[in-house]
Amino acid sequence: MTSLHQIICDEIAERGTMRMDRYMALCLMHPEFGYYTTRDPLGRTGDFVTAPEVSQMFGEMIGLWLGQVWSDQGSPDGALLVELGPGKGTLMGDILRVLDKIPGVLDGISIILVEQSQVLQKVQQITLKRHNCIWVRNLREIPQGPLFLVANEFFDALPVRQAERIDAFWLERGVRVENGKLVSGHIPLAEDVSLTLPATARDGEIIEWSEPAQRIAGDIGGRIAQHGGAALVIDYGSDGGSGDTLQAVRDHQFASVLDEPGSADLTAHVNFSRLADAAAPAIAAPLWEQGRFLASLGIGHRAEQLSAHDAQGTANALDRLTGPDQMGTLFKVLGLRPPEAPPLPILEDAC
Ligand code: SAH
């Protein structure tokens, strides 16, 4: 039994069934026993591997895209290059290596990393030691200015709430204790629910939504619309919702969400249409699949160059990032820009 298990049981004993978003927030970010606060989970020796950890090609393509947007928008001064949830700092390192080759982009730019885990912040400081970076815990702490923001596998880590249709009523899903074990439970849905649930639904239907995701998307959209820039959100998910997508992964395997809290990564699929709506008045480009996006940016050419050093490794990485049965179609790319800005490269190119 983990210490966090006891903390959660105590809180449930005191306050009753715990909402799913509270459970997820404690599991991931409890200051002492949270999943991200106690470890670096990324990479082959960790619990999961993300695209930037698969190959430098991923971050290089994103860097090219960001450099193009910056130049399309008239090379604004005082730009902010921001990453949400930077993991090991690998993606930002690869982006900066590319931007360094485009004259002018990095002059006077502020590089800001939004990270709540002290452990990962230390890893990022080592990866990015050659650069002048600023760390904050929350997007709200960053100054205003043209914002060039990237978030890879960040939004899936934000806590979700779940409503379930039971006997023709919507109830909120949560966690309760039975014989010392955490089991799923229900509570009446609070009045303050931030979305409209359909008046009719079949029994057992589940609707999932993330209030922090909506808030952060709203903040990004407002900043971009007012000060210029763009955002690129890459994650697994779909255009609409798809029921209960909360999942736990430990040591590269699916695990039970309620088992050993704090010891597995908990994520939920990102509902991109809701993110795009929350980001208004920023304009959302049509949603793209990661594989097609990277291919259009020229990842194939970059792979040819890198093959000279490691043909098999590069071919494997390219397949992992773009293959339809790998990350190529499950992962989606959402681009945001100000209403009056030029269309986003690739994402808004005429087909
Ligand atoms: N983007 C990285 C890491 C993805 S893992 C990559 O692609 O490899 C999720 C990251 O988001 C971790 O760095 C985690 O610590 C961070 N994170 C999760 N929830 C957060 C929150 N609410 N605020 C800031 N960072 C958060």
pLDDT digits (tens, 9 = 90+) for 29-62: 999 999 999 988 898 888 889 999 999 999 999 9
Taking residues 200-225, what's their average pLDDT? Answer: 96
CA 176 to each of CA 21, 124, 244, 248: distance values in angstroms, whole numbers, following the listed order:
14, 37, 18, 18
| C-alpha span between 217 and 40 (Å, rounded) | 26
Average pLDDT, the chain: 95
Distance 9 CA to ligand 1 centre (A): 26
Q: Which amino acid is at 115?
A: E
Q: Is 164:144 a contact under the CB 8 Å cutoff?
A: no
| C-alpha span between 138 and 24 (Å, rounded) | 18
CA 119 to each of CA 57, 86, 116, 150, 223: distance values in angstroms, whole numbers, following the listed order:
26, 12, 9, 21, 29
Taking residues 309-314, what's their average pLDDT? Answer: 96
CA angle 65, 121, 334 (to 5 degrees): 30
pLDDT at 1 over 90: no
Ligand 1 atom 16, closest CA: 85
Distance 103 CA to ligand 1 centre (A): 30
Residues with Cβ within 8 Å of 191's Cβ and at least 6 positions away in sequence, in order, are: none
pLDDT digits (tens, 9 = 90+) for 227-279: 999 999 999 998 877 789 999 999 889 999 999 999 999 999 999 999 999 99
CA angle 95, 96, 100 (to 5 degrees): 125
What is the percent of the chain with per-residue pLDDT over 70, rounded to a whole number? 99
Candidate of 82, 90, 116 to mutate for ligand 1, largest count of ligand atoms within 8 Å of Cβ: 116
Q: Is 249:265 a contact under the CB 8 Å cutoff?
A: yes
Distance 156 CA to ligand 1 centre (A): 9
Q: Would you tell me the crossing angle of helices 90-99 and 118-127 to the nearest 10 degrees? A: 30
Ligand 1 atom 11, closest CA: 85
pLDDT at residue number 351: 56
pLDDT at residue number 240: 78
Distance 121 CA to ligand 1 centre (A): 10
Candidate of 142, 154, 214 to mutate for ligand 1, largest count of ligand atoms within 8 Å of Cβ: 154
Name residues contacting ligand 1 (CB within 6 A).
36, 42, 50, 52-53, 85-87, 91, 114-117, 120, 152-154, 157
Kindly state the tokens that stand for 38.
Answer: 């106690």
| C-alpha span between 226 and 84 (Å, rounded) | 20
| C-alpha span between 1 and 106 (Å, rounded) | 49
Q: Is 323:268 a contact under the CB 8 Å cutoff?
A: no
pLDDT digits (tens, 9 = 90+) for 117-156: 999 999 999 999 999 999 999 999 999 999 999 999 999 9
- Please state whether the peptide bond connecting residue 198 to the residue before it is cis, i.e. omega within 30 degrees of 0: no
